[in-house]
Amino acid sequence: MMKQSQFNGRNVTRCAVVSCIFAVAVASLYAEDRSALRARYNEAIAVKLGWEIITVIVGTAERKLIWKGPRLWTKGAVIVMHGGSGTAVDWCSATKTGIADIDASMQAQVAFSREAMENGFAVFSLDSSAGLVTDDKGIPCGKRFDAVVVEGRDNVDLPFIEKVIREVMTSKRPKGSSPSVFITGESTGGFMAVRAGTHFDGLVAAFAPGAACDPYGTYFDASVDTGREARGVGIDRDTGKQITEDGAGGLPDALYSNEKPWETMNPAKKPPFLGLHHRDDGIVDISCHQKLVRQLIAHGYVIEEDFIMPGAGKKNVLAHLWQPEYNSRIVKFFAKYSVSGND
**pLDDT class for 5, splitting at 50, 70, 90?**
very low
**SS3 state at 4:** helix
Q: Does pLDDT of 12 surpass 60?
A: no
For domain 49-336, give the fold.
Rossmann fold (3.40.50)
Q: What is the pLDDT of residues 81-127, one digit of tens each?
A: 999 989 999 999 876 666 777 788 889 999 999 999 999 999 999 99
Give the closest residue to 313 by CA, choosing from 290, 287, 281, 274.
281
| Nearest residue to 125 via CA among 110, 104, 144, 105 | 110
pLDDT at 201 over 60: yes
The pLDDT assigned to 286 comes to 98
232 Ramachandran zone, left/alpha/beta (phi>0; psi -120 to 50):
left
Q: Check residue 278 and give its pLDDT.
A: 98
The torsion angle over the Cα atoms of residues 78, 82, 86 and 92, rounded to 10 degrees, is: -30
Q: What are the domain boundaries of the chain?
A: 1-38, 49-336
pLDDT, tens only, 43-77: 999 999 999 999 999 999 999 999 999 999 999 99
- State percent of the chain over pLDDT 90: 78
Mean pLDDT, the chain, as a whole number? Answer: 89
Q: How far apart, in whole angstroms, are the C-alpha atoms of residue 108 and residue 287?
A: 25
For the residues 19-29, what does the mean pLDDT come to? 37
- Distance from first CA to last CA of the chain, Å, rounded? 92
Give me the count of residues in the chain. 343
Tens of pLDDT along 129-157?
A: 998 999 999 999 999 999 999 999 999 99
Nearest to 129 by CA among 187, 192, 63, 71: 63
pLDDT of residue 33: 54
pLDDT for residue 7: 36
Lowest-pLDDT range, 26-30, 59-63, 301-305, 335-339? 26-30
Report residue 4's pLDDT band, with 50, 70 and 90 as the boundaries.
very low
pLDDT attached to residue 23: 38
* Section 265-278 average pLDDT: 98
Nearest to residue 54, comparing CAs of 8, 112, 2, 123?
123
Least confident of 36-50, 72-86, 207-221: 36-50
Which of 225, 224, 252, 228 lies closest to 238 in space, CA to CA? Answer: 252
DSSP string of 104-126? HHHHHHHHHHHHHHHTTEEEEEE
Identify the pLDDT of residue 54. 98
SS3 218: strand
Per-residue pLDDT at 58: 97
From start to end of 141-270, where are the E strands? 181-186, 206-210, 218-221, 233-236
Q: What is the DSSP letter of 62?
A: E
